[in-house]
Amino acid sequence: MINVKKLLIIIEVVKIKKIILIGSLFVLILLIISCGNNDENSGMEDVTAQAVKTVDNQELQCPECEPCQECEVCEPQKECPECEPCPNFSENPIDIKLTKVSLVKPAESSNSKKTVYKLTQDEYNALEAATFYFEPRCDETDNKLIIEFDNKEVYNDVPECSKINEVNVDTDLLYYGTNIIKFKTAPSEDYRITNMELKSEFNDGTSDTQKIYDVRFERSGEGNEEEVESISDVEIRNYKEYEIDLSSKDVEDGLVLQFTGAERDGNIIVYANDELVYEGKISRRTNKIYVPKEYLEEGTNYFTFVGVGK
């Protein structure tokens, strides 16, 4: 006959061993998970470290190739060697000559225009979103147009002629009462900005569209500009950089880079202090490129011309 007391003791010992075994397995599992997490974290740290090290290798906006040496200064008896082409911009560099290159401050009447609109107190309090619409009446333009609300830039691009252009406006730039919209450009020809509307959307689901008076730009005539800096004729074989000193007065309202004629049609890219101000074709007439004051600095400024194939 089985001793009941001994049997109970055996059962209890088995239970204890099971508990110890389960506990050991649980601890082992926790250790394995912990090791796995450490491996993952280690990998993440390595990837992050590598990413930080390679940030400086990102491609810069401004070309890095060196300009031609001024051989007539250093070695007048030798011909100037051809510049190495900038591979980032053109595999087949072209020769371009720009003449009468200068930085000017055009007359305020031709360079900048203002118009106004109003918001009532109720409209201002309920305003949720705003969209500005405008149509440039022109046949063709390569000139950038800058639009400012409350002296803050909301648009900086070459607009589409004879089409409605649309701009979303941050409501933080709109105020109760009279608001001012400012337009800046360097027009090559006369043109009008018309069909201007500001659509306001309110928090009750309604909206209102307010029409705004037209503005007209007239081409800057000879003698209307104040010349700030005259640059020698630009001989471009892919790349040319100029260092120009400007005063605080020179840069306060932005400047216009203008040049006339070209020995041949081609495309150029123009930077002001590493900021892209123009990319596109050049023509044989007077070309004008508006350079915003935000791109300019008191003191030394760098203007870079890149000639590229079509």
> pLDDT tens-digit profile of 247-281?
888 887 778 887 775 555 567 788 888 888 887 77
Indicate if the pLDDT at residue 141 is higher than 70.
no
Is residue 266 within 8 Å of 238, Cβ to Cβ? Answer: no
Map tokens 């590229």 to a residue.
308
Alpha carbon separation from 34 to 25, 31, 165, 219 (Å, rounded):
14, 5, 58, 73
Token pair for residue 293? 């004051």
Tell me the C-alpha distance between 239 and 177, whole Å.
50
* Selected residue with higher pLDDT from 118 and 218: 118
Confidence of residue 166 (pLDDT cuts 50, 70, 90): very high
- Residue 46 has φ and ψ, to the nearest 5°, of -65, -45
CATH number for the segment(s) 71-106+225-308: 2.60.120
In the chain, residues under CATH classification 2.60.120.260 are: 108-217
Highest mean pLDDT among 26-40, 153-167, 232-246: 153-167
CATH number for the segment(s) 108-217: 2.60.120.260
Is residue 258 within 8 Å of 102, Cβ to Cβ? Answer: yes
Map tokens 């063709």 to a residue.
140
Phi-psi region of 96 (alpha: psi -120 to 50; beta: other; left: phi over 0): beta
Highest mean pLDDT among 85-94, 121-130, 220-229, 242-251: 121-130
> pLDDT tens-digit profile of 38-74?
444 333 222 222 222 222 333 334 444 444 444 444 4
Query: Coil, helix or strand for 171?
Result: helix
Counts for the chain of helices (H) and strands (E), in that order: 5, 18
DSSP state of 80: P
Average pLDDT over residues 117-127: 87
Query: Coil, helix or strand for 79?
Result: coil
Q: What is the pTM of this model?
A: 0.45
Is residue 197 within 8 Å of 181, Cβ to Cβ? Answer: no
> pLDDT tens-digit profile of 177-207?
888 898 888 766 677 888 999 999 999 999 9
Tell me the C-alpha distance between 18 and 36, whole Å.
27
> pLDDT tens-digit profile of 285-302?
667 787 888 888 888 998
Query: Coil, helix or strand for 5?
Result: helix
Is residue 290 within 8 Å of 256, Cβ to Cβ? Answer: yes
DSSP state of 57: G
Neighbours of 151 (CB within 10 A): 8
